[in-house]
Structure 1
Amino acid sequence: MATRRQVLGNAHVDRANANMTPFDTDFQTMIVESAWGTVWADDALTRRERSMVTIALLAALGHHEELAMHIRATANTGASAEDIKEVLMHVAIYGGVPAANTAFKIAKETLAGMEK
């Protein structure tokens, strides 16, 4: 949970916890344990690198809500706007121009919102 808070921020994690119900408690626990307790907590890659990989995968797979969330998380991971741009250029070649086009739109809107 500490890693999740460090990457996504307390406000996001607090909202997610407040929205948990008995129906999705097991799912949320699985996410915390596997994604945040294992993958993100491992030091084989830096948080910046993990952030960039995550953004690329979310963009290529069209997971737009998660993409915006992880772009906002770059404020905590050290990935820059330039890093995001380069990752999305890579997505265009290996994941498809339409996926990258949508991801660039989401990234521009999200980064602009972060500047405010």
Structure 2
Amino acid sequence: AISRWPNRVDQRELRQSEIYKQGMQTRRRVLGDTHVNAAEVQKSSFDAPFQELITEAAWGHVWSRHNWTLRERSIVTIALLAALGHLDEVAMHVRAARNTGATREDISEALLHTAIYAGVPAANSAIKVVKNVFAQLDASGE
């Protein structure tokens, strides 16, 4: 029988690329082992391709570049996520900021900048989320 997709590659048969491995290392460094391990445990066949994509593309290609520090990437990421209204991701990256050297003052400045360039409502929503994350971190002693 002739295959309908003769050049199709079974992704499960490919070995992990070096970029993927670097991405996982950077992802763990930024987000922490606890977060990444939880994501890996929850990964299913449905979202495994997505998890592999973000690990390789975001963490392997972008976050692992040497042009900016992890702190700088963290600040920009928080501002962009706030501007786009992705508040769950804002919370995750605010927690991760502890691992990148980004301070609360850095985050405050990023959100102030967001207010001017992306709008006060976007920044205001993010500020509420960030304050909640800070309160949780303070309560847990982190």
TM-score interval, smaller chain: over 0.9
Higher helix proportion, which one? 1
* Pairing of 1:9-88 with structure 2 (within 5 A): 9-88=32-111
Shift of 1:95: 0.5
Aligned match for 2:120, one of 97, 100, 114: 97
> Matched residue of 1:114: which SS?
helix
Give the Cα–Cα distance (whole angstroms) in 2 for the partners of residues 114 and 9 of structure 1. 15
Give the Cα–Cα distance (whole angstroms) in 1 for the partners of residues 135 and 71 of structure 2. 20
Displacement over 3 Å in runs of 4+: none
Query: Larger Cα Rg: Structure 1 or Structure 2?
Result: 2
- Provide the alpha-carbon RMSD of the alignment: 0.6
User: How many residue pairs are counted as aligned between the two chains?
Assistant: 116
Q: Which has the higher contact order (CA 8 A, sep 6+)?
A: 1
Give the Cα–Cα distance (whole angstroms) in 2 for the partners of residues 115 and 39 of structure 1. 31
Shift of 1:114: 1.2
- 1:59-107 CA-partner distances (Å, limit 9, x unpaired): 0000010000000001100000000000000000000000000111111
5+ residue gaps, structure 1, are: none
Q: Does 2:121 match 1:112?
A: no
> Matched residue of 1:41: which SS?
coil
5+ residue gaps, structure 2, are: 1-23
